[in-house]
Amino acid sequence: MTARVIDGKAVAREVRAEVARGVEQLLAAGGTAPGLATVLVGDDPASEVYVRNKRRLSVEAGMVDQHRHLPGDVDQATAQDLLDELAADPAVSGILLQLPTPKHLDSDALVLRIPAERDVDGLTTLNAGLLAQGRPGLRPCTPAGVMRLLDAYDVELAGAEAVVVGRSALVGKPMAQLLLGRNATVTTAHSRTKDVAEVCRRADVLVVAAGIPGLIGADAVKPGATVIDVGIHRGEDGLVGDVRYDEVAEVAGLLTPVPGGVGPMTIAMLLANTLTAAKAQQGLGD
């Protein structure tokens, strides 16, 4: 094995400690504790686990848990009313609608009920537009977490060849824009790319978010490259990513494991966004 392993758990712990200190400073400056409203619709077990962890870690960071749970058969209007109610509540700094919602709901329309300044998932059109224009705004948590990992390991981005595999609104697109914002030369590969491995081989920094277990092998990795695996899949032997870890570890210079890489960063950045939102709403922003 040649790759250094990126310790996402440790970096996430640092971010959460920073957020906890930020909450203390906000209180000391006369502000009120940030409130995070996670909204869970239905009883999907994976979503329940994600939401439980978000709530637990937000409370550990000194925030107020404003969780709401709606039944799986809730209608669009009722879900919308709840989001509107949260949007008007001064105790709620951030609102996170846990995705995916049950199929009968229009989740895009629901996300748009969240005011941009409380959109701690960074998914509203306004925040996506601010990112596209390179202006300040709340950024999607997973790509923001990847940027934080790259910085924690001093990965050079200016002028680097970066390849992002995947173009979802949640991960791939904002990821490419964040890398571009740091002056990388960015290529996005996706399901219609002719030769994904060939495109990936040019990457100094390769971020894989395709949602296909083991899609990327050693043949797609330039020796010494930094490889970030966003994928998460529950396999027979536990969690696996989109990258074939054992073989890529022989080629890459830096590599994230699954679990323990990007996953813990997503929640940490959610907490960071919630603090940023609370400070801005209370007029105590940076």
Tell which residue, 15, 32, 90, 64, has the closest CA to residue 272: 15
Q: Does 164 bind ligand NAD (CB under 6 A)?
A: no
Contact at 8 Å (CB) between 151 and 141? no
Q: Does 251 bind ligand NAD (CB under 6 A)?
A: no
The 126-155 contact track toward ligand NAD, x by CB under 6 A, reads ----------------x-------------
**How buried is residue 45: exposed, middle or buried, by Cβ count under 10 Å (0-12/13-18/19+)?**
exposed
Cα separation, 273 vs 267, in Å, equals 10
Q: How far is the CB of 78 from ligand NAD (least distance, A)?
A: 26
Per-residue tokens: 2: 């040649």
CB nearest ligand NAD: which residue?
168
Q: How far is the CB of 283 from ligand NAD (least distance, A)?
A: 32
3-state DSSP percent of the chain in helix, strand and coil, to 5: 40, 15, 40
Q: Does 228 bind ligand NAD (CB under 6 A)?
A: no
Q: Which stretch binds ligand NAD (CB under 6 A): 10-18, 41-49, 187-195, 271-279?
A: 187-195
> C-alpha angle with apex 213: 209 to 215, nearest 5 degrees?
70
Catalytic residue list: 54, 98, 121
Q: Does 190 bind ligand NAD (CB under 6 A)?
A: yes
Q: How far is the CB of 103 from ligand NAD (least distance, A)?
A: 15
Q: Does 262 bind ligand NAD (CB under 6 A)?
A: yes
Whether the ω angle into residue 259 lies within 30 degrees of 0, i.e. cis, is: yes
Q: Which is nearer to ligand NAD, 80 or 201 (CB)?
A: 201
Q: Which residues bind ligand NAD (CB under 6 A)?
A: 142, 165-168, 170-172, 189-191, 193, 196, 209-212, 215, 230-232, 262-263, 266
